[in-house]
Amino acid sequence: MYSNITLPGLEGVIVTKSYQKEGVYHLHVELERKPHSCPKCHQMTKKVHDYRMQKIQHTQAFGRDTHLFYRKRRYICEDSTCQKRFYEDNTLVARYQRQSVEFNQALSIELIHAKNFKDVADRFGTSPTTVMRRFDTICASKLNETKELPKVIAIDEYKGDAGGEKYQTIIADPIRRKPIEILKDRKKDTLKDYLSQHGQGVEVVVMDMSPSFKAAVDQSLGRPIIVADRFHFCRYIYWALEQVRRHVQHSFDAYDRKKCKRMRHVFYKHQEKLTDKQHWYLEHYLHKSDYLERAYQLKEGYRKWFEIAKACGQEGLGEIKDTLYRFYDLVKA
């Protein structure tokens, strides 16, 4: 029988050998042999089939990195009709893990106060990827699964790198301004499957004008009210003006064509905020093309309506509606 002091995480473990190698503390450990229940037929057995040496990363001991060499015992069922082989029960290391239970517990506690993943990885002698996986495991156990989406949701994509995908899809609550779920990619089928499972109560969807998003929403939610995201809607207005400018400037002489391209920002800036010089260039190029002037008037008409809509909010829906109809009249004129 071997005698040793009790080390953290090694309670009930027999240390058969200990030494230092290249600055790392090595401990050879094993567990006491005892009867086990066969997982197949549930008959008790104490018969050993073989041993396997497993290398495990452990918490630091005496200021040094520590590796455990666990002599894992494998039992065999004594029933001649069963002969099931299985590993002994242990509290030292979880299945399919290369770090001890004590190591993962210490790592979890440290993650709460750590600055970043790399800092924790350097102090624990492991890789940032391992620390990130541990962080994901902890978070997964704390997050509550969304069972039903609220009546109003917002859908958008963002650039990421999770799971080998360049883009992910985020679903949020625009009323409370909180994220609800992040989907693994931006594919139509992924969004469609998720909304089919959790979106029975959704009535309004705020989203960009992506055809794949719209198709997924229509097919899974039964055509709810779709509200175009204001950023993307405004962007189409400015893109249309930009296309007109590019088309028109080809008819200008060489100097005006190059100058119009350099001064294109005057077409997008608020008219009230233009300097005298910028206002002169704006008027100069608008007078050179009725088509460009018409596109600019529509852009300004939309911008002014949008400013009024933001200022009025929900209390001024009547005024918002009236000014929107005036913008429609401008478009039809």
Structure confidence by residue, pLDDT tens digits, 2-32:
555 667 778 888 989 999 998 898 999 999 9
Span 127-148, pLDDT tens digits: 999 899 888 888 877 667 778 8
Written as one letter, the residue type at 203 is E
Q: Label residue 302 by pLDDT band (50, 70, 90).
A: very high
301 and 199 belong to one structural domain = no
186 and 246 belong to one structural domain = no
Residue 210 in domain: yes
317 and 242 belong to one structural domain = yes
Q: Which of 190, 208, 228 is the last residue of a domain?
A: 228
202 and 124 belong to one structural domain = no
Total of domains in the chain: 3
- Give mean pLDDT, residues 45-53: 95
69 and 90 belong to one structural domain = yes
Q: Label residue 312 by pLDDT band (50, 70, 90).
A: confident
pLDDT at 46: 93
pLDDT at 4: 53
Domain that holds residue 209: 152-228
pLDDT at 206: 92
Q: Label residue 161 by pLDDT band (50, 70, 90).
A: confident
Q: Does the pLDDT at position 174 exceed 80?
A: yes
18 and 128 belong to one structural domain = yes
CA–CA dist 218, 230 (Å, integer):
20
Residue 9 in domain: no
Q: Does the pLDDT at position 281 exceed 60?
A: yes
Q: Label residue 1 by pLDDT band (50, 70, 90).
A: very low
- Give mean pLDDT, residues 115-128: 89
- Least Cα distance to 228 among 150, 174, 158, 183 occurs for 174
Residue 5 in domain: no
At 50, list the tokens.
């073989």
Q: State the chain's mean pLDDT as an integer.
A: 89
Q: Look up the pTM and report it.
A: 0.55
Residue 144 in domain: no
CA–CA dist 79, 43 (Å, integer):
8
223 and 260 belong to one structural domain = no
40 and 128 belong to one structural domain = yes
Give Cα separations from 246 to 223, 295, 302, 305 (angstroms).
37, 12, 21, 26
Percent over 70 (pLDDT), the chain: 98
Percent over 90 (pLDDT), the chain: 54
pLDDT at 52: 95
127 and 196 belong to one structural domain = no
118 and 174 belong to one structural domain = no
Span 64-93, pLDDT tens digits: 889 999 999 999 999 989 999 999 999 899
27 and 131 belong to one structural domain = yes
Q: Which of 137, 160, 190 is the last residue of a domain?
A: 137
- Give mean pLDDT, residues 161-165: 76
114 and 27 belong to one structural domain = yes
Residues 6+ apart with CB under 8 A from 31: 12, 13, 14, 73, 88, 90, 92
HEC string for 15-67: EEEEEEECCEEEEEEECCCCCEECCCCCCEECCEEEEEEEEEEEEEECCEEEE
